[in-house]
Amino acid sequence: MRTRIFITGGTFDKEYNELTGQLYFNDSHLPEMLDLGRNLVPVEIRTLMMVDSLEMNDDDRNLIAEHCRKSAEDKIIITHGTDTMAETARILAEKVSNKTIVITGAMIPYKFGSSDGLFNLGSALAFVQTLPPGVYVVMNGRYFNAGRVRKNKETGVFEEVEEG
């Protein structure tokens, strides 16, 4: 059974534009990262959008939910900016059922050489194979249930919270 990977952007896929000195999105690095990890879990990759997660709106989240519902695969990884990862998880948990959905990302762009992205991708692939249906945020080697996680803006790490 294949695993579906949806790409939505985020720090993961940022690159450095040497003419403007700005960070920008080009193509996703997911295929390259899976090769580097010598991944042999069958995956099907599709880019849904390429945005900073701070710019992601309700329409974007509905689109992601729609793709998760329609996906033939019941194991889904979503790469996503870290800033609003917890919010997207909460919305997907309301709108999609009976699938294992893992949202992950990176604090440092993959192209910057010292990224956490490859580590996170490895753990996301492992968690999606083993966790029961539900929506999860996977960062820092841990998994968090949707609705019970937030990104600590001061430390940059993810932490568990009481369900609201």
* Residue 118 near residue 51 (C-beta atoms within 8 A): no
The C-alpha atoms of residue 6 and residue 49 are separated, in whole angstroms, by 9
* Residue 164 near residue 147 (C-beta atoms within 8 A): yes
Residues 107-136 that bind its own copies (CB under 8 A): 107-109, 111-116, 118-127, 129-131
| Closer to its own copies by Cβ: residue 35 or 70 | 35
| Closer to its own copies by Cβ: residue 63 or 119 | 119
13 binds its own copies (CB under 8 A): no
Size of the site for its own copies (CB under 8 A): 49
Q: Are strands 158-160 and 149-151 parallel, antiparallel or unpaired?
A: antiparallel
Q: How far is the CB of 15 from its own copies (least distance, A)?
A: 9
45, exposed or middle or buried, with CB in 10 Å at 0-12, 13-18, 19+?
Answer: middle
| Closer to its own copies by Cβ: residue 133 or 156 | 156
| Closer to its own copies by Cβ: residue 47 or 159 | 159
154 binds its own copies (CB under 8 A): yes
146 binds its own copies (CB under 8 A): no
Q: How far is the CB of 58 from its own copies (least distance, A)?
A: 22
Triad 103, 51, 3: Cα angle to 5°: 35
Among 60, 135, 143, 146, binds its own copies (CB under 8 A): 143
* DSSP assignments along 62-114, one per residue: HHHHHHHHH-S-SEEEEE--STTHHHHHHHHHHH--SSEEEEE--SS-GGGSS
Q: Which residues bind its own copies (CB under 8 A)?
A: 11, 14, 16, 18-19, 21, 23, 33-34, 36-41, 52, 107-109, 111-116, 118-127, 129-131, 138-143, 153-154, 156-158
